[in-house]
Structure 1
C-alpha cells in the first residue's frame, strides 16, 4: 500500500505513517518499491511486508491442523477431513452472521464482514469499481496452507460467506489493487 492508503486505514497522519514505514523498512519488516503512475505524476511509493513479518501474522497452527487432518484421513477415509472442517466453517458463518446482522445494506454488511475477518487474523478490505462492482480483497488467510492441501475447503468457505451475506460470492486469486497476489471475493449483487 501507499502511505495515503495506510494513513486512512490506520487513522493516522501521513507523516506518522511515513515514519513508521521508514523504521519498519530499516528493521527489514517492509520493503518499498516505486510504481509508475498511469497518468501524469511521480511514481508512487508502495510498501509491502517481507518474509521477516510472517511471524507477526497468525497462521492458525497450520502444522498441527495439517497433521491432525492427515490422521483423520488415515483413520476415517479421504472425505473425513473436509467433513470435520465443515463444522468449523459453520461456526465461522455463525460468527459472521452476528457481525453483519446490524448492517442495513449489502455494502455495509460486506464491510462489517471484512472488518470481522481482519480482526480474526485475515487482512482484507472492501473496494468498488465500475468494471467489477463491489468486492473484498484479502491479502492474508490464516488457513492458506490448509486450503492448498484441501482445495475443496475454498468452495466450502465461500458458500458459508454467501450464507452470511445473503448473496452470491465469487472467489478468485489474482493481483489486487496493490499489485500483489490476493484473493478477491466479488459480491454478486447490491440489491
Structure 2
C-alpha cells in the first residue's frame, strides 16, 4: 500500500506517540488541521487508522483521537516469516518445550555479548550506555527512544519486529528482559513497565541507577 510523505509522517507519529488529536498532529507535524483531516480520512478509507471515543480534556470540549488499527500496525516491517512460526511449532511438537527453550538460550548468549561489547565501547556513563543500547535496538527494528524522567531512564520500544514469534513463544520476551538486566547488573535496576503482549501499545523499560553506585 502506498502513502504520501505526509501520510507516512502521520502513521509514524501515531506509532511512536499513540492516539493523537488532529490539533496535536497539526502542531507537531507542521500541517494545517484541514490537511491532517484530509490525510486521516484517506488513511481511514485504507483501514489503517480509526477514531477513538471522545476523550475528556482538563479544559474545553471532549475530543476524538486517532489511532492505528491492527492493519496500521502491520504496515511497520516485522523481521519474521511464516516459516519461522512453523519451525517453532515443529520444534515444540517434535522435541518439546525444553528443547525450544535451549534454542532461545542459544540466541540469548551472542545477543548479550554483542550488546556488551558495544556498550563497553560507549564508555562508563550510564546515559551513553542506554543510548547505545537504544541505537542497537533501533537497527533491529524496534523504533526505540530514550527519555529521562524523575523516576529514572525509560527505554521505549514503539515497535516489535518479532511480535508474531513472541506471541507464539513468550520465552523470547523473558529472555530479552534478562539480557537488559544483565547488561546493567550492579549499575542499575531494569524493570519492564509496559508490555505489548500484555495489552500495552508498546514495550517500555525503566532503568534506575543504583544509589550506591
What secondary structure does 1:56 align onto? coil
| Residue 105 of structure 2 is aligned to residue 86 of structure 1 | yes
Give the conservation status (yes or no) of the 8 Å contact 2:104–2:175.
no
Match of 1:185 in 2: 205
Give the conservation status (yes or no) of the 8 Å contact 1:121–1:141.
yes
What secondary structure does 1:112 align onto? helix
The size of the alignment, in residue pairs, is 182
Superposition pairs for residues 135-146 of structure 1, below 5 Å?
135-146=154-165
**2:140 counterpart (117, 120, 144):** 120
What secondary structure does 1:126 align onto? strand
Judged with a 3 Å threshold, the aligned counterparts in structure 2 of structure 1 residues 82 and 60 are, in CA distance, closer, same or farther, namely farther
In structure 2, runs of 5+ residues without a counterpart are: 1-16
Judged with a 3 Å threshold, the aligned counterparts in structure 2 of structure 1 residues 92 and 46 are, in CA distance, closer, same or farther, namely farther
What secondary structure does 2:147 align onto? strand
Match of 1:26 in 2: 42
Normalising by the residue count of structure 2, what TM-score does the alignment of the two structures yield?
0.64
Give the conservation status (yes or no) of the 8 Å contact 1:135–1:185.
yes
What secondary structure does 1:117 align onto? helix
Match of 2:30 in 1: 15
**2:193 counterpart (165, 172, 183):** 172
What secondary structure does 2:97 align onto? coil
Superposition RMSD on alpha carbons, in Å? 3.7
Answer with 1 or 2: which has the greater Rg. Answer: 2
Give the conservation status (yes or no) of the 8 Å contact 2:104–2:171.
no
Judged with a 3 Å threshold, the aligned counterparts in structure 2 of structure 1 residues 81 and 129 are, in CA distance, closer, same or farther, namely same
Superposition pairs for residues 21-170 of structure 1, below 5 Å?
23=39, 26-28=42-44, 29-31=48-50, 36-38=56-58, 48-101=67-120, 102-130=122-150, 132-166=151-185, 167-170=188-191
Give the conservation status (yes or no) of the 8 Å contact 1:62–1:145.
no
